[in-house]
Each structure stands twice: as structure tokens, then as C-alpha cells.
């Protein structure tokens, strides 16, 4: 099974900050990686697919990069609506989610 | 618009079974698959498995093999997930999500609202 790790597990930031979250896979997954945002009591929302493709309707301040085993999600200027938990997901072989990164207010 | 509407919350005793439904609308059901993902209280997301609404093929997470069955009813555009021999650590919110139709490796662009399953004696 492919294992996913994320860092950091928690990130404290302010509105306007540039935020970067890292996701690593235990083996190469090419570009088969997605990022989701989840708020309390809600279903996850797809932000990025195929490592760097922005899902329709998602603000352009979100971007993804990477391939192989190392990936990043960047929020260029953090907005109040962005405080949430972010998960990466590999879908190269079945599916595995990372443990999540909680972005909270500094 | 695409919608996945799940059945309501369930309370079950250990050893019992639960069957959660997921009714799809707003797209051609048989052109996609459905994956199931669960989330224990305060925990992360766990992929449970996938079913193709196109041909009925399934893939299940290894840890749930033998306890989970996923089915579809194409006449009503509804997917089902049945989990048997419930344990307390099966307590979670269960989500259905739209997936690719041909293989279980897929990201999920639409999600149901979630169904809380509580396992307690």
C-alpha cells in the first residue's frame, strides 16, 4: 500500500500570508495526486487534481506542484475562508489520504 | 447540478450490519463510479472502496475485505455500502463521492453530505 505523509500537521497563519503544505508519498505516484479542503461538519472539497490542475470554481490563489513522491499545495494569500483542514490524496494505486494539515488563525 | 444525497444517521449495536445509500442526480449515473470514504470522530479520511456504476466492478480496502459490500441500483441511480460485523471503531461519518468509472484510482469531485454511523452497545 502507498502511504502518504503531510507536513506540518498544524499551521498557524494570518490573513494575507503565503502558506505551503507538503505531501510525500512512500513510492512514486507520478502526478496522481489531489488536494482537498475540509471545514468542520462538511464534506471535503476538491481543490487540485493531477498534482497541479485547478478544479473549476476554485480561487486562483490555490496552486499545486510536484511529481513522483513530493508535492506541495500553496495558498498565495490566505483569506478568512481558507482556515480549514487540508488533505492530500494519492490515486495512482487505489486511494490513500494523507493525515491532514490544519490551518488555523495565528 | 450534480448531487449525491445520502441516507440518515444510524445507531447500531456491535456485531450488527449497516447499509448506507447514496442517491445521485444531475449526471449520467452509469458514466461514473462511486467511492466510499469514512472519517472517525476527530480523525482523517479513510478510503473504503469503489464501485463502477458502469459495469459493477468493485475494489475494497484490504482492511475491510470480507466485511464490506458495495452495490448500485442503476434504475434509481443509487449506490449502497453495507458494512457487517460492526465494531466500536467503525463509528464514523461515511461519505460517498463521485469517481471514475473504469478503475478505483480516482479523485472525487462531488461528495455526499455524509452519514453518521454510531456503533454502541
Average pLDDT over residues A52-71: 98
Contact A95 B109 (CB under 8 A): no
Query: B47–A1: do the CB atoms touch at under 8 Å?
Result: no
- How far separated are the first and last CA of chain B, in Å rounded? 40
Whether residues A46 and B107 touch (CB distance < 8 A) is answered with: yes
Q: How far apart are CA B14 and CA B34, in angstroms?
A: 27
- Please tell me the predicted confidence (pLDDT) of residue B105: 87
Distances (CA, A) of B60 to A21, A37, B68: 29, 24, 8
CB contact under 8 Å between A95 and B62, yes or no, is no
B3 close to B22: Cβ distance less than 8 angstroms? no
- Closest to A92 in 3D by CA, of A31, A47, A51, A46: A31
The 10s digit of each residue's pLDDT in A10-57 is 999 999 999 999 999 999 999 999 999 999 999 999 999 999 999 999
Assign A91 a pLDDT band (cuts: 50, 70, 90): very high
Residue pair B14/B87 in contact by the 8 Å Cβ criterion: yes
Q: Nearest residue on chain A to B114, judged by CA atoms? A: A43
Least Cα distance to B58 among A105, B66, A63 occurs for: B66
Q: Measure the CA dihedral B77/A39/B44/B56, to 10°.
A: 10
Task: Looking at the complex, report in whole angstroms how far the Cα of residue A66 sits from the nearest Cα belonging to chain B.
Answer: 17
Would you state the pLDDT for residue A48?
98
The model's pLDDT over B88-106, given as tens digits with 9 standing for 90+, comes to 999 999 999 999 988 878 9
Interface check for B47 against chain A (CB to CB < 8 A): the answer is yes
B6 in contact with A, Cβ within 8 Å: no
CA distance B72 to chain A (A): 19
Q: Chain A contacts of B106, Cβ < 8 Å? A: 91, 95
CB–CB contact B106 A91 (8 Å): yes
Do B51 and B111 form a contact (C-beta atoms < 8 A)? no
Distance CA B92, CA A81 (A): 26
Tell me the nearest-neighbour CA distance from A5 into chain B, angstroms. Answer: 12
B46 pLDDT band, cuts 50/70/90, is very high
Cα B55 to Cα B6, B40, B51, B68: the distances in Å are 22, 30, 9, 19
Query: Cβ neighbours of residue A57 under 8 Å, at least 6 residues apart?
Result: none
d(CA B91, CA B64): 14
With CB atoms and an 8 Å threshold, state whether B44 touches A99. yes
Among B83, B79, B110, B106, residue whose Cα is nearest residue B97: B110
Given this model, what pLDDT does residue B104 score?
A: 75
Amino acid at each position: 500500500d502507498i502511504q502518504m505523509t503531510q507536513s506540518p500537521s498544524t499551521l498557524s497563519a494570518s490573513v494575507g500570508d503565503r502558506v505551503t503544505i507538503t505531501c510525500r508519498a512512500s513510492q512514486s505516484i507520478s502526478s496522481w495526486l489531489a488536494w482537498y479542503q475540509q471545514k468542520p461538519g462538511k464534506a471535503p472539497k476538491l481543490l487540485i487534481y493531477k498534482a497541479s490542475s485547478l478544479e473549476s470554481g476554485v480561487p486562483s490563489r490555490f496552486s499545486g506542484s510536484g511529481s513522483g513522491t513530493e508535492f506541495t499545495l500553496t495558498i498565495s494569500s490566505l483569506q478568512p475562508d481558507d482556515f480549514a483542514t487540508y488533505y492530500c490524496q494519492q490515486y495512482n494505486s487505489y486511494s490513500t489520504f494523507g493525515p491532514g494539515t490544519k490551518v488555523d488563525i495565528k | 447540478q450534480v448531487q449525491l444525497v445520502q441516507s440518515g444517521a444510524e445507531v447500531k449495536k456491535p456485531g450488527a450490519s449497516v447499509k448506507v445509500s447514496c442517491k445521485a442526480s444531475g449526471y449520467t449515473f452509469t458514466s461514473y463510479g462511486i467511492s466510499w470514504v469514512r472519517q472517525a470522530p476527530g480523525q482523517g479520511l479513510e478510503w473504503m472502496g469503489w464501485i463502477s456504476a458502469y459495469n459493477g466492478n468493485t475494489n475494497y480496502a484490504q482492511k475491510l475485505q470480507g466485511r464490506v459490500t458495495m452495490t448500485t441500483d442503476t434504475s434509481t441511480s443509487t449506490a449502497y455500502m453495507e458494512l457487517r460485523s460492526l465494531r466500536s471503531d467503525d463509528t464514523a461519518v461515511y461519505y460517498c463521492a463521485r469517481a471514475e468509472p473504469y478503475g478505483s484510482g480516482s479523485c472525487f469531485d462531488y461528495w455526499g453530505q455524509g452519514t453518521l454511523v454510531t456503533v454502541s452497545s
